[in-house]
């Protein structure tokens, strides 16, 4: 079924659920997204997909994920629009912290089960973000998630998160290499990604 023919709910479920399948098959995630036109060219569609998820008690996850996709400021302060309301953010680091604090506990280095649903959106921004700042924030979050642990020691969830991130990196080396070449300030981030890709444990 073509993505454009799906309802928002079906499309989102298809996108979120496919990550485990990609982990098993090793199919190139970037190509998979490209074939289904799942890029961030249409920010409004991205927002709609995020907001269509039933985040249950983790309602703030939706806002923080959208904030990543809209990030386009390198200054210490700025404004992004969310549902027509201007919302202040302090810095790129603050955006990263906000996401990690809504999908988990940033201070304890853990994430909650909601991370499974949030991960596909974060990978999407890391690969196809419309601005370097958005991709930078998303990559920082991926690195944090890889080294964090499930708060309830759920080994299946930990394996899913780590394997999904490793597959995304391994299948998009050229994409991330170009990201580093576009701005040398991103080099250390990309080095961290490649270190994750090469981890054997």
> What proportion of the chain, given as a percentage, has pLDDT over 70?
70
pLDDT tens digit string along 34-53? 444 444 447 888 888 899 99
Q: What is the pLDDT of residue 102?
A: 93
CA atoms within 13 A on the CB side of 133: 16
165-174 pLDDT tens trace: 999 999 999 8
CA distances from 199 to 38, 60, 136, 193, 196 (A): 29, 32, 21, 10, 5
pLDDT (0 to 100) of residue 31: 52
Give dist(CA 186, CA 55) in Å, integer: 31
pLDDT tens digits, residue range 140-150? 999 999 999 99
Number of domains in the chain: 1
- What is the per-residue pLDDT across 65-99, written as a single tens digit (0 to 9) for each? 988 888 876 544 444 444 443 444 446 778 888 89
Q: For the whole model, what pTM was predicted? A: 0.73
Task: Tell me the residue range of the domain where 86 lies.
Answer: 3-198
């Amino acid at each position: 079924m073509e993505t454009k023919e799906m309802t928002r709910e079906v499309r989102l479920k298809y996108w979120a659920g496919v990550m485990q399948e990609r982990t098993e098959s090793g199919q190139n995630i970037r190509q998979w997204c490209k074939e289904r036109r799942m890029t961030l060219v249409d920010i409004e569609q991205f927002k709609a997909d995020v907001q269509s998820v039933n985040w249950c008690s983790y309602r703030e996850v939706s806002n923080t994920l959208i904030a990543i996709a809209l990030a386009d400021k390198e200054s210490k302060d700025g404004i992004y629009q969310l549902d027509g309301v201007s919302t202040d953010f302090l810095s790129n680091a603050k955006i990263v912290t906000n996401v990690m604090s809504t999908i988990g506990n940033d201070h304890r280095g853990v994430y909650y089960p909601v991370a499974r649903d949030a991960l596909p959106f974060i990978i999407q921004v890391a690969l196809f973000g419309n601005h370097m700042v958005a991709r930078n924030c998303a990559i920082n979050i991926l690195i944090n998630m890889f080294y964090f642990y499930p708060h309830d020691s759920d080994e299946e969830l930990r394996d899913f998160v780590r394997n999904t991130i490793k597959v995304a990196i391994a299948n998009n080396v050229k994409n991330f290499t170009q990201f580093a070449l576009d701005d040398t300030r991103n080099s250390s981030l990309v080095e961290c990604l490649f270190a994750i890709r090469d981890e054997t444990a």
